[in-house]
Structures are given as structure tokens and as C-alpha cells.
């Protein structure tokens, strides 16, 4: 009898979770930000608590999960539209090595002991700190490493049709410069660009699919 009463809860919870995973994208099973990790744990706790509590109805348990999942999706959407807000919520990567020099203050900021850092770089086949040129401690706890002799990594200056102002400042470039470069590539609006990156002293532009198709049709 108890199992029959609980069956609708299990079914509803499963459907809601499947919809949430579908809407939130595959990033939920990739390395996640701190907010994603905490949000997913809360969803698990809500589902587990609602399923085990016989005083909570199917509709109540569904409502709790829907509200929390909806809030997470809303925050994710807002972050995708505003790079500064995203950085404020998730934080920013911390540079640990710059031009071959270890930045000791940033190790303290990242709460990363140098012994743990040594282990992480050794795992990636690097024998000594002297081989390092640039290193960033990413939001998910991984390291992005550029060795001496390697090219610098590309820097995103446009994400999802919006300018990444912090990255632009890092490159010592202006918004006016970026808009001018976009126009040189044949695009009138930043919103037409899915993403653009600065790599090897060149701006690489990737427009949205529909914009690219219209551009090709116009050229033909």
C-alpha cells in the first residue's frame, strides 16, 4: 500500500528532473560552478525529503522542486546575458602564474596550498614550475596551463551576443574598437555574433547560424 502511494511521487519527481536536466543543458554533467553544485544538491535534498515524507503530497513535492529548479534556470539565463553579473555570482578564474612568476597572494585568495598546486601540474606532465608561463585556477577547481613556448590561449570578447567587458579590459581594448572590428567582418550588430575570440593578435568571429546563412545568401 505504501509503495502504491509513493509511486506517483516518484513518477512526478522523475519527470521534473528529466525536464530540468533537458532545460539546463549538458553543463549539468560537465564540471560545474559552485552555484550549479549547490543548486543540484538542494534539488536532490528536496526530492529525497518529499519522497520520504508521507505528509507531503505529490503536488506539494512537485511544487517545491519546480520552484527551486525554476529559480536556478532563471539565474542561469540572467548570467548568460550579463557577463559582469555572471562573474559576481560565479566568481572569476584566479591567475596563479603570470609570465613565469608565481603570484603568492593569489594562491592565498584561491585557498590553494602550493603542494596541492604542484600535484595538479605534475599530473599534467609538468615537472617543474619553471616550465609554466601562465596558469589560471578555474571556477570548477581545474587548472588552465600555458607552458613556456606555447601560444597564449584565446580570450572570448563576445559571448552569446553580449560583450565580455572584463576580458576586453584584460586585452586593453575598447568597446568602440570591438564594434569597428565587427563591422569590418561584415556584421552591424554585436547581437548578431554568437561569440568572438582574440587569438594570436586576430579577432575570430562566429555569428549565429541564421545570421551566417543570411550573409551567405546576400553575398550570392
pTM of the complete model:
0.56
The vertex-94 CA angle with 139 and 88, nearest 5°, equals 60
Task: Pick the closest to residue 43 from 92, 23, 54, 55 (CA basis).
Answer: 23
Kindly give the confidence (pLDDT) of every residue in the chain, 220 residues in length, as a single tens digit, with 9 standing for 90 and above.
555 666 777 777 777 777 777 776 655 444 556 677 777 777 777 777 766 676 777 777 778 778 888 888 888 777 777 666 776 666 778 899 998 999 999 999 999 999 999 999 999 889 999 999 999 998 777 899 999 888 888 999 998 888 888 888 888 999 999 999 999 988 888 989 999 999 988 999 999 988 777 666 666 5
Q: Per CATH, is 155-219 categorized as 3.30.240.20? A: yes
Contact status, residue 34 vs residue 91, Cβ threshold 8 Å: yes
Strand ranges of the sheet holding 94-98, from the earlier edge strand across to the other edge: 101-102, 94-98, 132-137, 143-147
Neighbours of 39 (CB within 10 A): 22
Task: Pick the closest to residue 112 from 148, 143, 145, 89 (CA basis).
Answer: 143
For the 94-147 domain, the top CATH level (class) is alpha beta
Domain boundaries of the chain, sorted by first residue? 2-88, 94-147, 155-219
Contact status, residue 207 vs residue 216, Cβ threshold 8 Å: no
Same topology, domains 94-147 and 155-219? Answer is: yes
Contact status, residue 205 vs residue 185, Cβ threshold 8 Å: yes
Residue appearing with cell numbers 596551463: 145
Amino acid at each position: 500500500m505504501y509503495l502504491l502511494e509513493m509511486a506517483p511521487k516518484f513518477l512526478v519527481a522523475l519527470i521534473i528532473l528529466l525536464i530540468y536536466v533537458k532545460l539546463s543543458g549538458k553543463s549539468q554533467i560537465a564540471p560545474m560552478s559552485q552555484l550549479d553544485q549547490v543548486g543540484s544538491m538542494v534539488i536532490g535534498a528536496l526530492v529525497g525529503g518529499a519522497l520520504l515524507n508521507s505528509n507531503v503530497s505529490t503536488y506539494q513535492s512537485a511544487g517545491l522542486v519546480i520552484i527551486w529548479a525554476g529559480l536556478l534556470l532563471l539565474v542561469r539565463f540572467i548570467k548568460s546575458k550579463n557577463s559582469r553579473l555572471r562573474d559576481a555570482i560565479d566568481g572569476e578564474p584566479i591567475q596563479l602564474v603570470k609570465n613565469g612568476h608565481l603570484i603568492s597572494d593569489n594562491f592565498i585568495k584561491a585557498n590553494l596550498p602550493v603542494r596541492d598546486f604542484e600535484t595538479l601540474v605534475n599530473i599534467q606532465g609538468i615537472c617543474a614550475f619553471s616550465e609554466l608561463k601562465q596558469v589560471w585556477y578555474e571556477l570548477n577547481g581545474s587548472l588552465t596551463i600555458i607552458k613556456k613556448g606555447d601560444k597564449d590561449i584565446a580570450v572570448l570578447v563576445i559571448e552569446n551576443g553580449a560583450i565580455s567587458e572584463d576580458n576586453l579590459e584584460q586585452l586593453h581594448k575598447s568597446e568602440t574598437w570591438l564594434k569597428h572590428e565587427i563591422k569590418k567582418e561584415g556584421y552591424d550588430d554585436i547581437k548578431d555574433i554568437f561569440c568572438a575570440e582574440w587569438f594570436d593578435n586576430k579577432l575570430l568571429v562566429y555569428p549565429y547560424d541564421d545570421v551566417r546563412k543570411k550573409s551567405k545568401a546576400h553575398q550570392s
